[in-house]
Structure 1
Amino acid sequence: MTTSEHRILITGANGFVGTWLQTELKSRQSNHSIDFFPVGYKAATGKSIDIRDYDQLVDLVDGYQPTAIVHLAAVAAPAEARNAPRLAWDINATGTMNMAYAAMEAAPNARFVFISSSETYGTSFNDFEGEPIGENVVLKPMNAYGASKAAAEALVGQLAHEGLNTVRFRPFNHTGPGQTEEYVVAAFAKQLAEISVGLRPPVIKVGNLSAKRDFLDVRDVVRAYADVALFDFPSTRGQVFNLASGKAQQIQDILDKLIHISGQKIDVQVDPERLRPSAVASAVGDASAALNAIRWKPAISFETTLTNVYDYWKERVTAA
């Protein structure tokens, strides 16, 4: 077992967010005694685990004795969860239960940082007509991802009353370099990058671009996770916090900004087959509780994030 002051166990460590969390923790190692242990399902680096196997988790936690666990492991893409709902519930809900109970059994003093999602709010966004919503709003999830995360969050909140030292986060949409094209910003950026090198004609076919969403840079998001994993904020124990910018970004505007960043003339065509009404017109969060409790607020401008995402995909398609 490592003797570092901070021992951070990260589940789902090799995913998009987990990779950036590792980068964030590495950047702090010169100022703090930090060791972190990345684990994931069929992990390329770190240790491979299956969070559906409770005994395996107990052995893992007992052997490493973390000071904090950042639980990112999930079926994270809503479309993936919709296509495999049983797997989503097994990983997102039952897997979280296994991880939380393993922490309580094998490392009862460890801080359990659970990553939920703004998807748990679901149709409650419609009750606020685009105004930022706080953490006390009723959760009305609309899909398997949101519902399984809401169930896991309720479980973790219940275990807080039984001694689990936990903090829960509901991050809103976050993007950045390295995100897969399953997500809208990366999807637009990749297409524009491919157009720029002649891999596709200068045409982008789109569906409904009217929806408004609250976007963050992933590097701002993992900063909150790292802060809470490393430092004890007594007022956060058992609590849940939005991570949000408080600003709505219309999908149409995001596409327009990315086209401008790419410096190209693009023919944007509406594809009738992709035109589906959005069940939630606007989803915006109020993160004032996180500001008050841990002094967190976004620091990276959305324009910087979009530029970084486009540059990432331009480099990828150029090297391919």
Structure 2
Amino acid sequence: MRVLVTGAGDYLGRRLLEALRLGLPAGTHILGIDRTAQPPLDGVTFLEVDPFEAGTLARAVAAFDPDIVFHLAALASVAQSSETPSYAWRADLLGTLTLAEAVAKTHAVLVFLSSTVVYGEAFRDRPRPDEGVTPRPDTISGRTKNACEYILRDVLAHAGVKHLVLRPSNYIGPGQSETFVVASFAAQIARIERGLAAASLDVGDLSAARDFFDVSDFTAACLRVIARVDALPDGAIFNVGSGVITSVAEILDALRTMTEATFTVRATPDRVRPQGVRSEGCDPAAFAAATGWQPAVPLTRSLAVILDEARARLD
């Protein structure tokens, strides 16, 4: 088997590559491509490719001749997309289009990492939407992800190439950027414990609620896709998440129980998203039924690992 992963240098890309090399049979060929050079990883070949250069990308894909492609390259956070709208559209759409055109000339199956953010305003009526709910994206990230789903549907269907769409909710894990809420809380607490910061934690809207699940559960979901890829229908869309909605306030309360440090909380406007939808989750039942996947890591365990990693980075 030959597996290609785009966005190999991003947080999720690196963790997926680590899971693939450990979870797939010996002899599997794994290629990670990214626009910048990457640190080595046993069992993985890296290739530096600019996703905007269609010819270079097409040659790289053709030379590797993958059986399955995981397309992860994109701006990872809603905040990043909102801050750089022109680049977000260029990176997500042009990168996806050039990859789709390259994969259309192969026999590979393309798995696209979309997001539950595509549901947008639909969350108001269905906080835990299933895949039958029509997306109504209300952020740049949601709109670009939704547009990429259409690009793949059009380009790959025309070429007779199979593709699947995964819409994960909020995956979390150690080493994630502080632009994400759980990583931010953990890093701030770790600095407060060491006396490196004042005993005050900056927060956004604590009433916001999301479906948080461990990044290792998402990489396990990708392995289940590989195992069941022949049985999954072309163009299928699957939500991937815990199915449980947890408020940011509950996340903070759980982290408080894991530290002896005391601190106040300070709300800062720059940490509040502009849109009004506050409760966002998903119904992952269809994916569980199709693949047998279930999340295995309790949220409290994820939070403890994230906090311990934030502490270790200060050593």
Q: TM-score, normalised by structure 2?
A: 0.93
Equivalent pair of 2:206/2:247 in contact (CA under 8 Å): yes
Q: Distance in 2 between matches of 1:95 and 1:262?
A: 42
Give 1:122's aligned residue. 120
| Cα 1:81–1:275 shift into 2, 3 Å | closer
Confirm or deny that 1:150 pairs with 2:146.
Answer: yes
Q: Distance in 1 between matches of 2:204 and 2:167?
A: 27
Give 1:296's aligned residue. 293
Query: Residue 276 of structure 1: CA displacement?
Result: 6.8
Give 2:43's aligned residue. none
Query: Residue 278 of structure 1: CA displacement?
Result: 5.4
Amino acid at match of 1:43: A
Confirm or deny that 1:247 pairs with 2:241.
Answer: no
Query: Residue 32 of structure 1: CA displacement?
Result: 4.5
| Cα 1:292–1:80 shift into 2, 3 Å | same
Local SS of the residue matching 1:161? helix
Q: Distance in 2 between matches of 1:273 and 1:37?
A: 38
Confirm or deny that 1:58 pairs with 2:55.
Answer: no
Equivalent pair of 1:211/1:278 in contact (CA under 8 Å): no
Amino acid at match of 1:82: S
Render the CA deviation track for 1:150-188: whole Å, top value 9, x for unaligned.
000112123453212111100000110110000000000
Render the CA deviation track for 1:253-302: whole Å, top value 9, x for unaligned.
10111121123222223447766775112111000110111111211110
| Cα 1:241–1:155 shift into 2, 3 Å | same
The 5-angstrom pairing of residues 199-214 of structure 1 reads 199-214=196-211
Percent of counterpart pairs with the same letter? 32
Give 2:36's aligned residue. 42
| Cα 1:274–1:178 shift into 2, 3 Å | closer
Q: Distance in 2 between matches of 1:173 and 1:67?
A: 28
Local SS of the residue matching 1:255? helix
Q: Distance in 2 between matches of 1:65 and 1:12?
A: 18
The 5-angstrom pairing of residues 216-295 of structure 1 reads 216-229=213-226, 231-271=228-268, 279-295=276-292
Q: Distance in 2 between matches of 1:273 and 1:297?
A: 35
Tell which deviates more after alignment, 78-87 or 167-176. 78-87
Confirm or deny that 1:81 pairs with 2:76.
Answer: no
Unaligned runs of 5+ in 1: 1-5
Q: Distance in 2 between matches of 1:273 and 1:51?
A: 31
1:178 to 172, 175, 179: 175
Render the CA deviation track for 1:2-52: whole Å, top value 9, x for unaligned.
xxxx111110011111111111112124x4432211111113242111111
Give 1:14's aligned residue. 9
Q: Distance in 1 between matches of 2:63 and 2:72?
A: 20
Give 1:3's aligned residue. none
CA root-mean-square deviation? 1.7
Q: Distance in 2 between matches of 1:103 and 1:221?
A: 23
Give 2:42's aligned residue. none
Query: Residue 207 of structure 1: CA displacement?
Result: 3.0
Equivalent pair of 2:138/2:275 in contact (CA under 8 Å): no
After TM superposition, the runs of 4+ consecutive aligned structure 1 residues lying more than 6 A away are: none
Render the CA deviation track for 1:79-130: whole Å, top value 9, x for unaligned.
221122121111111211110110111x2x11101100111111110012x3
Q: TM-score, normalised by structure 1?
A: 0.91
Q: Distance in 2 between matches of 1:145 and 1:206?
A: 22
Aligned length: 308
Equivalent pair of 1:208/1:278 in contact (CA under 8 Å): no
Amino acid at match of 1:119: V
Confirm or deny that 1:306 pairs with 2:289.
Answer: no
Q: Distance in 2 between matches of 1:189 and 1:93?
A: 33
| Cα 1:171–1:51 shift into 2, 3 Å | same
Unaligned runs of 5+ in 2: 40-45
